Amino acid sequence: MPKQPRLNPVEQPQHIIQRGNNRQACFASKQDYIAYLHWLKEAASQYQVSIHAWVLMTNHVHLLATPHQEFAVSKMMQSIGRRYVQYFNTTYQRSGTLWEGRFKSCLIDSENYLLQCSRYIELNPVRANLVAAAQDYRWSSYHANALGIESSLRTPHPIYLNLASTSLERCQIYRTFFDGAQDEKFVANLRAATNRGFLIGSDRFKVQIEQLTQRRLAPKKLGRPKKN
């Protein structure tokens, strides 16, 4: 059964995952991370995509991004994929694919879940036991969102900007989101939605997006229908 065309509603944030084929490593040196971020910045600018959060893990990448034109995310990811694979294969004298087929993505209800998604992305190195705290990992947006370190790649989302009137206050408030454990139900729902290409948000948000796209973007509930 052919896959449905990927939907990229304009101005709608998306959580994106790009994995290495068979979970193989995609980054083996500092220069690899730098190269990927460089081409991500170029592609995001070319195809008009705002990048709000990111993390580059050893064998996969997470992004939180908003497209400003139709199919912009798909074009951006295709561009990065081609350029980085060429670089990686040349650098390590290998051939063949690097990425695991199509990237995964889901739509994010920005009003209710955008900051939770950003936190989830930046906590990946902590969950993977690579570092003790998010600030200890170099290849993520935590340094820009939580510590105020300037980044030409990041475009703050309006939800983030509305946290406070100054950059210092926004960073302080944002850091409080990292206190305590993250809601595991949210994490499970986000992963499921991303893997299946659905969305995560309120019932109202789901209805709005389904009406906009004329397509079901949330899985049907399991079980038999109730009898009248």
**pLDDT the model gives residue 210:** 82
How does residue 228 score in pLDDT terms, banded at 50, 70 and 90? Answer: very low
Which domains are assigned to the chain? 14-205 (3.30.70.1290)
**Rounded average pLDDT over 14-35:** 95
Radius of gyration of the chain (CA): 18
Q: Which two tokens stand for residue 118?
A: 């950003």
**pLDDT the model gives residue 217:** 57
User: Which of 173, 147, 191 is CA-nearest to residue 137?
Assistant: 147
End-to-end Cα distance, the chain: 34
pLDDT in tens, 25-53: 999 999 999 999 999 999 999 999 999 99
What distance lies between CA 136 and its chain's CA centroid? 20
Q: Is the dihedral of CA 150, 19, 77, 188 positive or negative?
A: negative
